[in-house]
Structure 1
Amino acid sequence: MIAPAAGAAAAAGTGYSLGLCGMLSGICSAISCAFSALVACFTGARCCSGGACAGNGKDAWGAGKVGSMLVVVYAVAMSFLFLYGLEDQLHHLAEHAKAWENTSCKLGDDYDAECLGQEGVFRINLAVVAFFASNWLGCKLSKQWHNALWIVKMVFFLGYCAITLFWIPSPFVDDYVWASRVMAALYAVALMVFIIEFAYEVNDWMVDQSGDWGAPTTCGLDDNLIVLLCISFVLFAATLAGIVCLFVFFPKDPDACEAGQAITAFISMTLVFCVACTATQLVFSESGNLLTSSAVCAYGTYLAYTAIRKQPSSECNPFWEHKHDWMTWVSLILAFISLIWMSKTAEDVGNTIDPELGVELVPSDDEEKNEDKSESPPPAPIDCLDGGDRAGATFNLIMALAACYVACTIANWGASTNQGDTMSKPLAGRASMWMQIVAQWAMFLLYEWTLVAPLIFPDRDWV
């Protein structure tokens, strides 16, 4: 027979769990209503009811891209809510919810609030990845899936969130965090490709503008070239100042820091890579430019800082106990800017290259003229076997990787620091540090390859 006190406690726990579930459901429903309204405003009710809504132009942003971006924004909002707005609620959730009972955030008889918040972030991230994975499968089956049925998709997304929050056990989430880190590292490499290509395109555009007749000049010098030199100088100065600061502040206590030699080696290699790439561009390469070299060096220094910041030791890292700082927002801004660029890249890759045949799929000029003369019929109902949409599938795959990168950035790659060293996760911190450093090396080697490849293979077209 259950004692009255125990029965009351159990009833209170059950009531609290139901109340918390209702509160989270209300928050999700409110944000989802706002989400659906934004999709409708941007793309029209026709997109959400099943019609393709890509617009007349090939580069139009239809419901697929807008909705996917807003899903990531939704996940970011929920992630910050878990980290900073639901500490007490997550504490009680860990005590009463069966899915959280074996959480690794338990410290004795208590729970670490920041660790629970980070687990909540990765639970939401798991729902987002499941959402984009299902969209990827839908795009593999239907050409219209990417832009259609967004109200239905949101219902599925809310279902994913409910499953990951209240039914997925914590040990599974702990294992998933490692997969999320790997996918985030893959997106970090893609982000570096964006940095390099974007710098090349900006430099080429400004050089083309400077070659026009009547271009503005100052003291006989072209204004566009002056701007390029000034930007390059600022980035190189920031790189030098950053490397000096890294040598000064890391490690905090060299005698007590076990990883002090490795940290010093990382900083030294950053300096060596910057000098080597810049020297190659200035002396040997004919395709490189100062703007790209300075951008790569500046971003490489930033990667070195973010990598060393992952070292879970107050003796090695003077900023270890700081939750978040400016680098979190810089990483998020870069992630969203790169997403906009990568969405266009994914569309180009999916629409121009057949992955099986390796041939171009872009219609010829005659075909385009014939298409312009004939009026295109309205979009047909969704057919699950109409060949699929390679561009949409590629876009959803990129969005899944980007969601993992954003989650790792917000959650400090899953290494809690709220209770000091007693609650830190050294393996997670060191693994994240090495992932960032390896990504930095990949970026420098990739840029070096873009400089030396035209010299090694002069007969090939590298434009």
Structure 2
Amino acid sequence: MGAVLGLCSAAQLACCCGSAACSLCCSACPSCANSTSTRLMYTVMLLIVMIAACITLAPGLHDQLKKVPFCENSTGLVPDKFKIDCDQAVGYLAVYRICFATCLFFLLMALITLGVKSSKDPRAGIQNGFWGIKYLVVIGGIIGAFFIPEGQFAATWMVFGMIGGFCFIIIQLILIIDFAHTWAENWVSKYEESESRSWYAALLISMLTCFALTLTGIVLLYVYYTKPSGCDLSKFFISFNLILVVMASAISILPSVQEHQPRSGLLQSSVVSLYVMYLTWSALSNSSSECNASISGDEKTSFDKQSIIGLIIWTCSVLYSSIRTASSSSKITMTEHILAKDGNAGYDSIEGDGGEAGRGEETKVFDNEGDGVAYSWTFFHIVFALATLYVMMTLTNWYNPSSQLSKENVASMWIKITSSWLCIGLYVWTLVAPAMFPDRDFS
């Protein structure tokens, strides 16, 4: 990040307080669309919030706060009026407060950008610029959230978090399945056009790799999350999901499915199967300690190896789902009205000489939304608000909030295992729906 900031000129840094589209993220690129730059900046904001929330769950942080003079439980000598309760600055309550302020920010942005049709709208400057002010608003909101009396705040906000987090799970699953279909269709299309053996080999290797990783994951789940006697629920989850992915793979190559979707095949099934196994592993990480490899003895730290690996995969999945929402909003909402045509219509140079000169190599950020937005700004912010709630609930173990990422939690386990079943169900629906309703367009 420091290298990117070092490449920025004073003119580019003006986007922090001005209404021009931000070129901060794209200063090292030959050119960058306005819509792309904006989405990247909001994604960076969400990533920073996620990191801050994780820091508050870091093991030992609570003990370190005892050394801070202004904390109530500190051994330092300061007047009582300067002391505050630092217990609220760490743990799941801190995550709740951080995500509360961030979620409200994205909801506010959704209201501000409601009904924007193009970048010619005066509100476009708020969407694409003023980054310094936006970050200050978020930081100020987070600081203010720590002054909210505890009372019923946690219990009430948890209900909103569960609803919003589950909605984001549905969106995330749709995008993962859409990714699998898009990947396979693109590669199959290139193979059919070129008839190149390299594309055929790439398809075959990718499919076999995903299936091999899925099979390896199943074996490891049986080894580390089950025992010869007991752990029946864990055995059921693994076996049942194995049966489901086998059935889904078989359905994908049925003649009736192939008739309506010639490019449907095992590559999509392998990607979905691998993701389902990841969800299964994530669910079993919250199973009972007797059958849980991530809990050894009395050692229940927040950041063990399983948590770190899972956190990295989960972070990438959340960020991909969040930023991908913009270009896939019509698939999520089942309507074409929420997504404007993407492209260079209404091309206006934001940095450069403008006109033909603006199209040259000196152009860093150009406005590609002059005639129509490339994505629904309001829907984009709503999804980011839902993503914030999903982050909050995942880090705090859903219905039974705690300050540890890796811990026995039945509620979190059932949420994750239900997500794996929903993933299979949605994928199978994308396969059979065109055959069941041939008169409808599912493209």
Same fold, TM exceeding 0.5? yes
In structure 2, give the amino acid aligned to 1:443.
C
Aligned residues: 382
Other structure's SS at 1:460 match: coil
Change (3 A) 1:362 1:340: closer
Question: Is 2:46 aligned against 1:72?
Answer: yes
Q: Whole-Å Cα distance in 2 between the matches of residues 250 and 183 of structure 1?
A: 30
Q: Tell me how far apart the structure 1 counterparts of residues 319 and 7 of structure 2 sit (CA, whole Å).
A: 18
Whole-Å separation in 1 of the counterparts to 2:318 and 2:391: 7
Of the three residues 110, 123, 128, the one matched with 1:136 is 110
Matched letter for residue 132 of structure 1: F
In structure 2, runs of 5+ residues without a counterpart are 24-30, 75-82, 116-122, 348-354, 356-372
Q: State the match for 1:154 in structure 2.
A: 135
Once the two structures are TM-superposed, the CA of residue 452 in structure 1 deviates from its matched residue by: 1.0
SS in 1 for 2:186: helix
Bigger mean CA deviation after superposition, 124-133 or 204-213:
204-213
Q: Which has the larger radius of gyration?
A: 1
- Provide, for residues 97-125 of structure 1, a one-character-per-residue CA deviation record: whole Å limited to 9, x for no partner: 76677x7xxxxxxxxxxx94333223212
Instruction: Say which is worse superposed, 84-93 or 163-172, in terms of deviation.
Output: 84-93
1:87 paired residue among 62, 75, 79: 62
* Structure 1: gaps spanning 5 or more residues: 1-30, 104-114, 217-221, 370-374, 376-387
Instruction: Report the equivalent of 1:380.
Output: none
Candidates 102, 109, 126, aligned match of 1:145: 126
Partner of 1:276: 247
How far did 1:337 drift?
2.5
Q: Which residue of 1 aligns with 2:179?
A: 198
CA-CA distance at 1:274 after TM superposition: 0.6
Deviation at 1:298, TM superposition (A): 0.9
Whether the 8 Å CA contact 2:22–2:129 is kept in 1: the answer is no
State yes or no: 1:295 paired with 2:276: no
Higher fraction of helix: 1
Q: What letter corresponds to residue 295 of structure 1 in structure 2? A: V
Please report how far the alpha carbon of residue 416 of structure 1 lies from its aligned counterpart in structure 2 after TM superposition. 3.6
Quick one: which of 145, 148, 167 aligns to 1:186?
167
Normalised by the length of structure 1, the TM-score is 0.69
* DSSP 3-state at the match of 2:291: coil
Q: Which position in structure 1 is the counterpart of 2:376? A: 391
Q: Which moved more, 1:120-129 or 1:38-47?
A: 38-47
CA distance in 1 between counterparts of 2:229 and 2:385 reads: 40
Q: TM-score, normalised by structure 2?
A: 0.72
Q: Percentage identity across aligned positions?
A: 25
Q: SS of the counterpart of 2:97?
A: helix
> 1:280: Cα distance to partner?
0.7
* Aligned match of 2:419: 439
8 Å Cα contact 2:61-2:90 kept in structure 1? no
Find the counterpart in structure 2 of residue 307 from structure 1: 283
For residues 219-234 of structure 1, what are the structure 2 equivalents within 5 Å? 222-234=197-209
Q: Alpha-carbon deviation of 1:450?
A: 1.1
- Partners of 2:169 and 2:150 lie apart in 1 by 28
Distance in 2 separating the partners of 1:419 and 1:162: 23
Task: Classify the secondary structure of the residue corresponding to 1:211.
Answer: helix
Q: How much does 1:299 deviate?
A: 0.6
Q: What is the root-mean-square deviation of aligned Cα atoms in Å?
A: 4.2
- Structure 1: distance between partners of 2:103 and 2:9: 25
Distance 1:173 1:98, change over 3 A: farther
2:321 is matched with which residue? 338
Counterparts of 2:6 and 2:151, CA distance in 1: 33
Mark the CA change 1:230 to 1:354 in structure 2 (over 3 Å): closer, same or farther. closer
